Structure formats: structure tokens, C-alpha cells
Structure 1
Amino acid sequence: MSTDIDTIEIRTSDDDEGPVVVRTNRRTYNYRVVMVRGDVVLDMRGRCSAGQKVLACLIIRLALAETFCDNFGFLALDEPTTNLDVDNIRSLALSLVRIIENRREQSNFQLLIITHDEEFVELFGRANLIDDFYRVSKDHMGYSKVSKYRIQDLDAH
């Protein structure tokens, strides 16, 4: 059996036992995230790597944004490559490139990526999606300074 996850799903208690009704007559659900490998469905809790957890979290957040936010305009990712191996970093970058390309005509779409992974930033430059990036550093007085750089100068810093 492959160690890759084919799909992930959010399953509610309704899938197994029916909804849980509380005293206020509001419907609530217990949910769990499951991974599907071939024909096998397994709870992700306790069975996946840190990188798989990061990817699952990103996928779920993107799916929720797409589902509940009509033409969501701003997406912020803070250190999205944490715990990912090189292949999954490339896969994440490719997925984000597709999102950017699909949203190109949407005037209010912005993507903010906070990362220390310069190779990840370079992947967006190679896709010709960005010309510049910003770096936050400290000046000689200890104050934060934001500097703009050209993507082709990334190796020089």
C-alpha cells in the first residue's frame, strides 16, 4: 500500500451515528478528519506525519474559504512549508500557483506568504507570478525594517 494519502474528508457524527442534539435544540456535530488510501478510510489523528497534518490543515482551510467566502480576496499563509519535505513543498507551491492563476481576474485577490523558506519563494518566481518580495529585518537600532527585493536577486541575499 502506498504511504500517500489519496484524499482527505471531514466526517461528522451524522455519517456514523446521527447528529447530536443539545438542550437548546441547536444541531451540533462531532467531526473528524479522515484520510483515504485506496479503499481504506482511517482517522488522521495519530496516524499521519507532521507534514501530512500541515497539508491537511491547509487543504481544509482553503476548502472552507472557497465554500463559505464568495470570491474571498485575501489569503494569508504563515510558514506553510513547516514540516514539509521537498516534494510536498513543490506540490504546495504548484497548488498555490493554480489558485493564483484561477484568481488572476479577481481584482481583490491578494496572497500573503510569511516564510523563511527562500526556495519556496523562488518557486513562485520561476512560475513568473512575482517579480518582487519583501524581507523584514532589524536595523542597527533594533527596529524592524521592510525592504523590497527583486526575485532574481534572491540568491544574493
Structure 2
Amino acid sequence: MRGRCSAGQRVLACILVRLALAEAFCLQMGVVALDEPTTNLDVANVEALAVALRRLIESRARQRNFQLILITHDEAFVSSLGRSSLADYYYRVSKNSSGYTQVARKDIGELG
């Protein structure tokens, strides 16, 4: 498929390969960390990634040590993940007027 995939498709494939490798080599993997996973993805692939992550969250809901760490600026993506009833809140990191970092726990329902 070399030369036939868009940049977004390659990024999505890379994420999926990493998830598969983590699953294969880690017994009851507890953490999935994604940093800006929607970068270079078109709308269809962003939604497909959200669906795949919702399925992952649902399949791991009973696993005590599972955590999804997602770093993104894409609020629509976070909102899409929140459509499953398994995600109740998220943390918003921002800077205040003095330049100090603020971390606030937010209800996922606040996102459009």
C-alpha cells in the first residue's frame, strides 16, 4: 500500500499497530497513552478512531487497572469518546492569566 495511503491513514495505522503490539506483549495491559492521535486524520478516520477506542474502553471496563491517557486539542473527538456511558469526566489543562498551569476536572457532558 506504499504511496496509496493518506498521511492520516498512515497515522491511524501506526496507532492501531502500537495498540496491537501492546496487547500482544503485555498481559492485561493497564495503560494506553495517545498524544494527539487525530493529527492529520480526516473526519471519517477521526470518527473511526473514536469508535475503536470506545470499543477498547468497553472491552476493558471490568479491568481494574485500565487507564486511557489521551492528550488532544480536538474537543469534538473527546466529545465523541464521551458518547459511551463509560467516560464520565476529563481533565482540562490550561494556563491562567498569570501564566500558571491549571488542571480542572470537567464533566464530559459539557462538551457539545
TM-score (norm 1): 0.68
Match of 1:121 among 55, 78, 82: 78
Query: Is 1:62 equivalent to 2:19 in the alignment?
Result: yes
Match of 2:95 in 1: 138
Greater relative contact order: 1 or 2 (C-alpha under 8 angstroms, separation 6 or more)?
2
Counterparts of residues 6-155 of structure 1 (less than 5 Å):
42=1, 44=2, 46-155=3-112
5+ residue gaps in structure 1? 1-41
Tell me the matched-pair count: 112
Query: Which digits, 9 at most, give the CA deviation of each residue in 1:98-125, with x for residues without a partner?
Result: 1111111111000011110001011122
Runs of 4+ in 1 over 4 A off after TM superposition: none
Query: Which structure has the highest helix share of the two?
Result: 2
Deviation at 1:55, TM superposition (A): 0.7
TM-score by length of 2: 0.93
The residue that corresponds to 1:35 in the other structure is: none
CA–CA separation in structure 2 for the residues paired with 1:147 and 1:141: 16
Q: Secondary structure at the match of 2:109?
A: helix
Computed over aligned residues only, the root mean square deviation of the Cα atoms, in angstroms, reads 1.2
Give percent identity, aligned residues only.
58
